[in-house]
Amino acid sequence: MQVYFKQSLAYIAVPKTGTTAIEQALRPQAMLALPNRMKHMTAGQFQRRIAPFLQREFDLKPQLFAVLRDPEDHLRSWYKYRKRPKLEGKPEYTGGITFDAFVRDVLRDPRPPHARTGRQWNMIHTGDQDLAVNHLFAYEAQPALKEFLGWHFGEGITLRQRNVSPPAEADLESKTRADLLAAFHQEADLHKRLMDAGGYLENSAL
């Protein structure tokens, strides 16, 4: 999570949505950057913990922006990331299972360690289910995000791929996909709205 005083913006880093590339590109203009262990602070946590401090000490009330990824592709990225050989032997390692089995484990309650990924929905919503970010972008529609960043931070901003997951076979059976979409219908519906809007939605209610 980074805060940019001049632009009056704060970035909510939803895991597996290009967060490292965005933070590295914008770090020179960040006046506040939380350590890695707090990198993925949710929008709700920001509102409770950071926003009051910024308003009290700096009279700053930044708008929040974040990126949302197609839920199936989001889990595919997690699966590939945890398939890395360096994780072999650890509880989160996915090298011994298929992507289909991984998704079915994600849908279990409780989830086994390798399937504990968190929800994008929880990153950008508060406990009362209200959207807690002002600007939301689709991961798959980079031009909208780049235009926004260029407008606020200057045209020299370049997003370079970082922490790219290694290639891996990652197909789903139709039944598993249907179960995933049913369980993650909130993310799926919001992502579709984003894509239908050209990759960007503004929350004018905030």
Residues 6+ apart with CB under 8 A from 147: none
| pLDDT score of 130 | 80
For 116, the token pair is: 């504990």
**Side by side, which strands form the sheet with 9-11?**
32-33, 2-4, 9-11, 63-68, 135-138, 200-202
**Going by DSSP bridges, is the β-strand pair 135-138/200-202 parallel, antiparallel, or unpaired?**
antiparallel
Question: What is the average pLDDT across 185-196?
Answer: 95
For 162, the token pair is: 């970082």
Q: Domain containing 109: what range?
A: 2-202
The confidence band for 206, taking pLDDT boundaries of 50, 70 and 90, is very low
102 touches 79 (CB < 8 A): yes
Crossing angle of helices 71-81 and 99-106, in 10° steps, is 110
| pLDDT score of 36 | 75
Question: What is the average pLDDT across 122-138?
Answer: 89
Inform me whether the pLDDT recorded for 151 exceeds 80: yes
Question: What is the per-residue pLDDT across 25-62, written as a single tens digit (0 to 9) for each?
Answer: 999 999 998 877 788 999 999 999 999 999 999 999 99
162 touches 13 (CB < 8 A): no
Strand partners, 11: 2, 65
| Range of weakest confidence among 101-105, 127-131, 190-194 | 127-131
Q: Which residue has the higher pLDDT, 86 or 156?
A: 86
107 touches 180 (CB < 8 A): yes
Inform me whether the pLDDT recorded for 105 exceeds 60: yes
For 69, the token pair is: 């990824």
Inform me whether the pLDDT recorded for 177 exceeds 80: yes
Question: What is the average pLDDT across 144-159?
Answer: 88
**Domains of the chain: total:** 1
Nearest residue to 116 (alpha-carbon basis) of 85, 99, 100, 92:
92
139 touches 72 (CB < 8 A): no
Inform me whether the pLDDT recorded for 183 exceeds 90: yes
Coil/strand/helix, residue 103: helix
Global pTM value: 0.92
| pLDDT score of 162 | 55
For 71, the token pair is: 């839920």
Nearest residue to 107 (alpha-carbon basis) of 98, 97, 115, 96:
115
